[in-house]
Amino acid sequence: MSKTWLITGASSGLGREMACRLLARGDRVVATVRREEALADLEQQYDGTLTVLKLDVTDFARTRSVMDDAFAQAGRIDVVVSNAAYGLFGAAEELTDEQIEHQIAANLTGSIQLIRAALPHLRRQGGGRVVQVSSEGGQMAYPNFSLYHATKWGIEGFVESVAQEVAPFGIDFIIAEPGPTATNFGASLVRPAAMAVYDDTPAGEVRRAVDNGSFDIRGDATRTVDAIIAAADSETPALRLTLGSTAYESMSKALGNRLASLQAQRGIALSADRDE
């Protein structure tokens, strides 16, 4: 049976790839983009099954009205995919206040408000699924991506809490955590002016790796999208979906180190309890 999906940030990258895969198999897609003409080719090809709505997720009032319009036009939306995001790339000291505020508005607050806007509709229709596109960077961290990581760690905490709140209404969540994937993500990085003092630091090493192409990108966009769709189609998916060998390896190492550190502090942790 065909489904109806809402996908934000559908003009490029994983969002566009997902829209293409779903439309090709006969599903209906409501795609949001910042530029209305971004999906003109798909609109012509899939007239009747693709609806394109203009949305900048940093416009929170507009997010609510677009969500209302999407459900009004579609009748029912089975899966809401919160995908719109971008990367802010620079050492924390290099970033401007405006860049920090916009990164948080787009990646974190924008996703929070999108989910909040969807929940009343999903409740009224008796349930549904939300896919939050996060990153391996929601569980580990690279130098030079501090604000990007802040948004991804933040949205994962938000989703893990909200998933418990709305489970009684038949609403569940998937947090998709791809590793570095061959999309236009790297080309669209927002980069502040580099400070020479960071040249010989881990931040400088990552900057050079991105610039000279040695930053390892193993993920395939089509296979990543196929795995997300398969999880969203399944009856009882896991909350977190790890995608790509880089993500698996980096997250295994990070989580293992965190667990070992926690266990080593057991005595200190228990010493902070009150006496019975």
Active site residues: 11, 134, 148, 152
Question: Pick from 121, 122, 147, 118: which is nearest to 135 by CA?
Answer: 147
Cα gap 49→54, rounded to integer Å: 17
What is the residue type of 114?
Answer: L
Single-letter residue type at 19: A
| 64 and 120 Cβ atoms separated by less than 8 Å | no
Distance of CA 257 to the CA centre of its chain: 24
CA atoms of 110 and 8, how far apart (whole Å):
10
Amino acid at 177: E
| DSSP 3-state of 150 | helix
What is the rounded distance in angstroms from the CA atom of residue 20 to the CA atom of residue 4?
13
Query: Would you call 128 helix, strand, or coil by DSSP?
Result: strand
Q: Are 107 and 85 in contact (CB under 8 A)?
A: yes
CA dihedral 209, 241, 222, 38 (to 10 degrees): -80
